[in-house]
C-alpha cells in the first residue's frame, strides 16, 4: 500500500503527470489572461477555448529539427534541459498537497523542506546559465551573464520574504507553516508586504516581463535559448511552466494558508490559490515594460531587500507581542 501511495505520489499527483497537465493548463491560463488584458483573444482553436494549445506547442516543438552547434559543449548542451526539468519536478514533490502527516516527517515533508524547495527552485537559474554558456553564442553569453546578474538581485529578497511567514509560524516545514496559517488566518495579513515582494521576485525568477531580460527578444534575439531548438527548447519551456506552478504553489503554501483538507479538497485549494498567484504574475507581465539589467539590481537592492528586512522586523516584533 505504502509503495502504491509513493508511486502514485511520484508519478500521478503531484508527480510528473499532474505537473505536466497542470503546468500546460497554467500556461494556457497565463496566456489567456495576458491576451485578454491586451485586448486579444489568446489561444482559441486547439481544444475547447484553446486549452490544448500549450500541449500542441510542446508536441510540435518535439517534432522540430534539433540542432547542436558545432562549437557547443555537446555533453552539457544535451543534458541540461532534461536536468532542469528533473530539478523543477523534484521541487514539485515537496509541495504539501497530500501524503504527509503533520506529526511524522516523511521524505516529502520534513523540517527544512522550505529551504530545500527554495534551493531546488534556484537551480534552474544556474542550469540556464550553463546552458547559455555551453552554447557559445554571443547572444547566449550575454543572456547567461544577465541570468546570473539577475539572480544576485532577486534571490535575497525572495529568501527574506519567504522567511518572514516561516518565522512567525516558527517552523521550517511547509506543511506546518500552512497548518499554522490555517489555524490563524488573520495572521496572513501582516505578511502581505512579504507576499508582494515574493511575487515580484518570482516574476524575476521566471524571467517574465518586466524581468524577461535574459531572453529579451528585441535586444539579444533568443538570449539564453538562442541556440536551443526542437526537443531541448520544448523541455526548457516545460521547465519554466512547471517552475511557475511550483513557485506559485510555494507562495500559496507559505502565504495563503496551503492546501488543507486531504487530496481532493486540497486539490481545489491548490488550483484556486496557484491560479490566483499566476493571475497576479500575468497582471504584472501585462502592465509593465521590460526594464534594464542595472535597473533590476537597483530595484532589488534599493527597494525589495530593505522592504523584506523591514517585514522581517515587523514579524519578529509581532511574534514577541503574540507570545
Partner 1 sequence: MKFQIPIGPQHPALKEPISLRMTVEGEVIVDADIRLGYNHRGVEKVAEEKNWTQNLYLSERICGICSHSHSTCYVQGVEKLMDIAPPPRGMYIRYLVSELERVHSHLLWLGVAGHEAGFDSFFMYTWRDREVVMDLLEMITGNRVHYAINAVGGVRRDLDDLQKAKVLEGVKILRERSVYYFRIGASEPSFVARIAGVGVLPLEKAVALCAVGPTARASGWARDVRKEDPYAVYGELEFDVPTADTCDVLGRVVVRVKELLESYKLIEQMIHKLPEGPIAAKVPRKAKPGEVVSRYEAPRGENLHYIKSNGTDKPERLKVRAPTLANYPATVEMLRSGFIADIPLIFAAIDPCICCAERAVVLTSARSGEESIVRLGDLRRQALERHQKAPLKRNAVWPF
Interface ranges with partner 1 (CB under 8 A): 37-40, 62-63, 65-66, 138-139, 142, 145-146, 209-210, 212-213, 216-221, 230-231, 286-295
CA angle (270 as vertex; 269, 272 as ends), nearest 5: 65
Closest to partner 1 by CB, 179 vs 283, is 283
Closest to partner 1 by CB, 67 vs 268, is 67
Judge contact between 99 and 7, C-beta under 8 A. Answer: no
* Nine cell digits for residue 279: 493571475
Residue with cell 497548518: 179
**Cβ 228 to partner 1, closest distance in Å?**
15
Closest to partner 1 by CB, 215 vs 273, is 215
**Cβ 165 to partner 1, closest distance in Å?**
28
How many residues in total does the chain contain? 323
Q: How far apart are CA 107 and CA 138, in angstroms?
A: 42
**Cβ 232 to partner 1, closest distance in Å?**
12
Closest to partner 1 by CB, 39 vs 48, is 39
- DSSP assignment of 279-295: HHHHHHHHH--PPPHHH
Q: How far apart are CA 271 and CA 22, in angstroms?
A: 9
* Nine cell digits for residue 123: 537551480
Closest to partner 1 by CB, 107 vs 152, is 152
**Cβ 144 to partner 1, closest distance in Å?**
12
**Cβ 300 to partner 1, closest distance in Å?**
14
Q: How far apart are CA 148 and CA 214, in angstroms?
A: 9
Amino acid at each position: 500500500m505504502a509503495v502504491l501511495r509513493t508511486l502514485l505520489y511520484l508519478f500521478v499527483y503531484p508527480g510528473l503527470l499532474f505537473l505536466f497537465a497542470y503546468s500546460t493548463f497554467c500556461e494556457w491560463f497565463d496566456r489567456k489572461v495576458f491576451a485578454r488584458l491586451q485586448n486579444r483573444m489568446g489561444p482559441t482553436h486547439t481544444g475547447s477555448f484553446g486549452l490544448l494549445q500549450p500541449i500542441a506547442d510542446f508536441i510540435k516543438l518535439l517534432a522540430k529539427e534539433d540542432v547542436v552547434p558545432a562549437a557547443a559543449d555537446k555533453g552539457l548542451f544535451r543534458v541540461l534541459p532534461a536536468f532542469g526539468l528533473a530539478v523543477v519536478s523534484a521541487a514539485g514533490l515537496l509541495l504539501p498537497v497530500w501524503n504527509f502527516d503533520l506529526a511524522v516527517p516523511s521524505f516529502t515533508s520534513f523540517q527544512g523542506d522550505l529551504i530545500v524547495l527554495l534551493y531546488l527552485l534556484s537551480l534552474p537559474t544556474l542550469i540556464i546559465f550553463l546552458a547559455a554558456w555551453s552554447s557559445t553564442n554571443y547572444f547566449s553569453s550575454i543572456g547567461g551573464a544577465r541570468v546570473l546578474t539577475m539572480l544576485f538581485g532577486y534571490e535575497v529578497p525572495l529568501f527574506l520574504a519567504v522567511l518572514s511567514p516561516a518565522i512567525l509560524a516558527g517552523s521550517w516545514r511547509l506543511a506546518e507553516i500552512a497548518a499554522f496559517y490555517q489555524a490563524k488566518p488573520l495572521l496572513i495579513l501582516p505578511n502581505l508586504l512579504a507576499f508582494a515582494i515574493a511575487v515580484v521576485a518570482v516574476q524575476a525568477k521566471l524571467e517574465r516581463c518586466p524581468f524577461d531580460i535574459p531572453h529579451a527578444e528585441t535586444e539579444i534575439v533568443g538570449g539564453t535559448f538562442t541556440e536551443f531548438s526542437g526537443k531541448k527548447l520544448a523541455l526548457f519551456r516545460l521547465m519554466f511552466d512547471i517552475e511557475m506552478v511550483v513557485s506559485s504553489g510555494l507562495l500559496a503554501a507559505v502565504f495563503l494558508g496551503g492546501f488543507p483538507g486531504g487530496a481532493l479538497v486540497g486539490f481545489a485549494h491548490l488550483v484556486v490559490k496557484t491560479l490566483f498567484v499566476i493571475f497576479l504574475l500575468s497582471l504584472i507581465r501585462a502592465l509593465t515594460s521590460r526594464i534594464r539589467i542595472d535597473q533590476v539590481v537597483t530595484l532589488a537592492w534599493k527597494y525589495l531587500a530593505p522592504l523584506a528586512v523591514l517585514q522581517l522586523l515587523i514579524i519578529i516584533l509581532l511574534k514577541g507581542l503574540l507570545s
